[in-house]
Amino acid sequence: MHNRRQILALGAGGVALGAAAGLGWSGRAEADGLAGFGLGGPGDLANPSEIRSRDGRLQATLRPQLSMALVDDKPRNLRRYNGGLPGPTLRLRPGDAIDLRLENALPPNPLPMPDPALFEAADLCGPVGSSHVAPHDFNTTNLHFHGLHVSPKGRSDNVFLTVAPGEAFNYHVQIPENHPVGSFWYHPHWHGSVAAQIGSGMAGMILVEPEGYVPEGLPERQIVIQTVIGGDAADFDDPRQFMSLRAPRIFTLNGQYRPTIRLRQGERQFWRLLLANDFQFCPLDFKAMGLAATLVGRDGTPLREPKPVDSLLLSPGNRVDVVVEGLAPGLHDMVRQPYRHGLVDLKARTLGQVHIAPGGAPSGLMPARAAPPPDITDAEIVRRRTVVLGERKDPRAVFDLAFTIDGQSYDPDDWHLDPRLGTAEEWTFVNTTAYPHPMHIHINPFQVVAVSGVPLAERPWHDTFVVPAAGTLTLRSRFEDFDGDFVTHCHILPHEDAGMMMNVRILP
């Protein structure tokens, strides 16, 4: 189709400055006796393990299991992929295929407890077994390839599949040649167990980029931020353990509690941050970490021009690709800044420390440039829709609180919106609740046009973006390349499992 998303020539400045420094990152470190200070060295936060594609194919096996992990010095029983926290990073090139075997090694689901109150409610609201407003079957799973522009059908990014405990499924996902360059992720998406499984640790990063995207000499640091539920019984027999914003969540970076991230003054590192969690937002202040930061990509879409930023807000599900440079030598706290979550003030939380050693030399290196899709113009919009987010009392839901889209909680048999392939639409989400909802649309990225009626000059590309409490979000999406069925939902996963999800069908 288009070559607009392919890599552009390297910025002249990047290459020239790198060459002028004379020595690469490792050479410089060896020269001054500080080898190992920096990425992956002693005491430094390591990247997750990585699986790369070869000859156009990425082959991997993901094995969710329930096992003990040491988090914040306490053993916790967590659902994890391949015994890791997080799962392995998958790195592939546009045009590659993913052949991924999902082997569900989680224990059998316990039989549902008969609860007289629930049966009473069932008379009013339908059978308990068909409830789509309460978490259930925490050991049933499947996979979602969050942010990838791929087919939602068959063995591809199909979130309607069910992989029960003891079962296995072979996914096959073909990445288009013109796929956007950036950071994505995988996680379970079986409606009913999503919060329990992602809140426990089931998530991993996916990187799609052409060869040479990250230049030699620019250390690439993947930082997967998770919020592991910190209760004693993290196998979650009782959803009240994790359905609340105030549940005891432990922030981890690549599975580590309060690790140290090291770099040299003047050194550049390419940080790929993923907030792979269930509930809490994560505003970050790079300046307060002693860093100068330049944003190059968001939610798997490159920026047209790199943009200096002091701070960024990550909603659950968001990714940002930033080049950071050590400015101020010393130890700086990396802090989840305070966040006003609707009516609740969330306090600052220390995630780790950034240790900047003096005396480095600037490298000037940047990742290669890549292009975003063209803006979605007024002329392309064939339809405007309004989608209303709400809540209602429902005795089948945890805390009696169910969430709705256009007045109804998730109905697996209803295709709520049905845009046509090859068109673009503008949707306005209207939030009638007192809490923010980060809405995620599968398969196609969208452009944010306005927040609470205020137009955004930049119109950033995202696949997940917050609808403010009692506010609105207006976005535009182009339904390209793939017809079929997928979902749109709140990425506060307890809200999703409590009904804030709808089916979308792209008509051929």
Binding-site ranges for Cu ion (CB under 5 A): 437, 490, 492, 495
CA pair distance 271, 291, nearest whole angstrom: 12
- Where do we find the tokens 């409610």? 121
CA pair distance 414, 409, nearest whole angstrom: 11
DSSP 8-state secondary structure symbol assigned to residue 9: P
3-state SS, one letter per residue, for 53-106: CECCEEEEEECEEEEEEEECCEEEEEEEECCCCCCCEEEECCCCEEEEEEECCC
Min CB(379)–Cu ion separation in Å: 33
CA pair distance 402, 498, nearest whole angstrom: 5
152/438 with CB nearer Cu ion? 438
Contact criterion met (CB below 8 Å) for 365 and 218: yes
157/497 with CB nearer Cu ion? 497
103/406 with CB nearer Cu ion? 406
Contact criterion met (CB below 8 Å) for 331 and 354: yes
Contact criterion met (CB below 8 Å) for 441 and 503: no
DSSP bridge pairs for 222: 272
Q: Cis omega before residue 165 (within 30°)?
A: no
| Extended beta strands in 104-148, E state | 144-146
Contact criterion met (CB below 8 Å) for 316 and 277: yes
Min CB(435)–Cu ion separation in Å: 7
360/390 with CB nearer Cu ion? 390
Min CB(495)–Cu ion separation in Å: 3
- Where do we find the tokens 């010095």? 73
Min CB(314)–Cu ion separation in Å: 15
78/501 with CB nearer Cu ion? 501
- Where do we find the tokens 């997940």? 464
Q: By C-alpha distance, which of 175, 195, 184, 159 is closest to 504?
A: 159
- Where do we find the tokens 């002091």? 310
Number of CB atoms found within 10 A of residue 475's CB: 24
7/402 with CB nearer Cu ion? 402
Min CB(198)–Cu ion separation in Å: 14
164/313 with CB nearer Cu ion? 313
106/405 with CB nearer Cu ion? 405
449/490 with CB nearer Cu ion? 490
366/492 with CB nearer Cu ion? 492
3-state secondary structure of 191: coil
CA pair distance 81, 197, nearest whole angstrom: 10
Min CB(387)–Cu ion separation in Å: 13
For the chain, the first-to-last Cα distance in angstroms comes to: 18
Q: By C-alpha distance, which of 144, 134, 227, 152 is closest to 188?
A: 144
Min CB(457)–Cu ion separation in Å: 27
5/189 with CB nearer Cu ion? 189
Min CB(403)–Cu ion separation in Å: 6
CA pair distance 208, 91, nearest whole angstrom: 6
Contact criterion met (CB below 8 Å) for 215 and 368: yes
Min CB(437)–Cu ion separation in Å: 3
Min CB(190)–Cu ion separation in Å: 18
CA pair distance 255, 387, nearest whole angstrom: 37
Q: By C-alpha distance, which of 443, 448, 439 is closest to 421?
A: 443
CA pair distance 363, 352, nearest whole angstrom: 25
Min CB(466)–Cu ion separation in Å: 9
Min CB(79)–Cu ion separation in Å: 22
53/431 with CB nearer Cu ion? 431
